[in-house]
Structure 1
Amino acid sequence: MTHSPAATNEGSLLLDAEALYTELLRGVRALSGPHTRLVGIASGGVWLAQRLQADLGLDGPVGVLSSALHRDDFAQRGLATSAQTQLAFDVNKADILLLDDVLHTGRTVRAVLNELYDYGRPARVRLAVLVERSGRELPIQADFAAAKVALPPTQSLALAQTDSGSFHFHVQEV
């Protein structure tokens, strides 16, 4: 599903992160079953998973997956993220819905899948993202994306969260 709360303004991309979150909530409702566990990829995916958990009225903490130890660029990045993996449930035979803010190259998803399988063998893993952007390097795709956008490789797109919990995007030149 592609939703387009996106517009251009003088050559820049404007995405309404709150409108996309509403679309993501709809998609996650459709993908979730009674035993689905929400697991966020640090850090934007964790913010999404926590808010979805509350909005869906689900009990318990969300899972957190860090890509730090399984990245193929670990030598350059090191432990770039401060979040650590936290899975307060048995991964074996679990129905897991993995959440991320932006799916770009696929390398982060590959890394967190390796991390997840260090904890056990889930029955099923699906991926829902706020934005799927151009530039895939690995054959990884989302089961649900609230929006699909094309950005030049010279730009990065990242989700940010205010103190009040609302979402917005930062687009930067890299």
Structure 2
Amino acid sequence: MTLDLEPSLASMKQQLADYCQAKQIENAIVVGIHTGGVWVAEQLMSAAPTKDPLATLDITFYRDDFTKAGLNPKVNQTSLPAIEDRHVILVDDVLMSGRTIRAAMNEIFDFGRPASITLAILYDLGQHELPIAADIVGESLKLNPDQRVKLTGPKPLAVSVIETD
């Protein structure tokens, strides 16, 4: 099943602009989590109050299941500017358990102490295992236990719901 992600991205852009204006956030750092979060963050850059290029995180070594799952065959580079006392807009494609976001925040804090972290998620699946909630959500989805969201891209960026075994 293919989903139309354009309305979700448009909603995220508007929410991000409104959120940053309400919180008086200026000169933020937009950080995408590899890989889908980077693709979504690229779409949000025009709505973000930033002059910096997109920053990226690879949370492979920060995952709490790293010893069980092992090294992902494709490890990407983390690229962050100085974040001390800066507002970070952390972007990912799917919020499921919250463990990826926890790992991303751990990595961010290894680089310094940001003024704040705003979480922007394309799809929230509502299956949180940790007390983590997004500030900006493109769309909330309710999936069956055997379904997952699959984002492909970056060009064209597309999303579908797939069946797992």
TM-score (structure 1 length as normaliser):
0.83
d(CA) in 1 for partners of 2:47, 2:161: 24
Residues 1:141 and 1:158: Cα distance change in structure 2 (over 3 Å)? same
How far off its partner does 1:116 sit? 0.6
Which sits farther off after the overlay, 33-42 or 114-123? 33-42
- Give structure 2 stretches of 5+ with no counterpart: none
Residues 1:162 and 1:114: Cα distance change in structure 2 (over 3 Å)? closer
Whether 1:97 and 2:85 are equivalent positions in the alignment is: no
Percent identity between the two aligned chains: 33
How far off its partner does 1:158 sit? 2.3
d(CA) in 2 for partners of 1:115, 1:162: 24
The residue identity in structure 2 corresponding to 1:173 is: T
Q: Name the counterpart of 1:27.
A: 15
Correspondence for 1:64 among 56, 61, 64: 56
d(CA) in 2 for partners of 1:69, 1:150: 29
The residue identity in structure 1 corresponding to 2:70 is: G
1:106-146 CA-partner distances (Å, limit 9, x unpaired): 00000111111110000100101111003111110001111
Q: Name the counterpart of 1:135.
A: 127
Contact 1:101–1:158 at 8 Å: present in 2 too? no
Q: Secondary structure at the match of 2:111?
A: coil
How far off its partner does 1:77 sit? 2.2
Correspondence for 1:161 among 144, 153, 157: 153
Which sits farther off after the overlay, 107-116 or 61-70? 61-70
Q: Secondary structure at the match of 1:93?
A: coil
How far off its partner does 1:55 sit? 5.9
Whether 1:52 and 2:44 are equivalent positions in the alignment is: yes
Contact 1:40–1:98 at 8 Å: present in 2 too? yes
Whether 1:112 and 2:112 are equivalent positions in the alignment is: no
Tell me the matched-pair count.
160
Q: Name the counterpart of 2:141.
A: 149
TM-score (structure 2 length as normaliser):
0.87
The residue identity in structure 2 corresponding to 1:27 is: Q
Whether 1:171 and 2:154 are equivalent positions in the alignment is: no
Contact 2:31–2:91 at 8 Å: present in 1 too? yes
The residue identity in structure 1 corresponding to 2:16 is: V
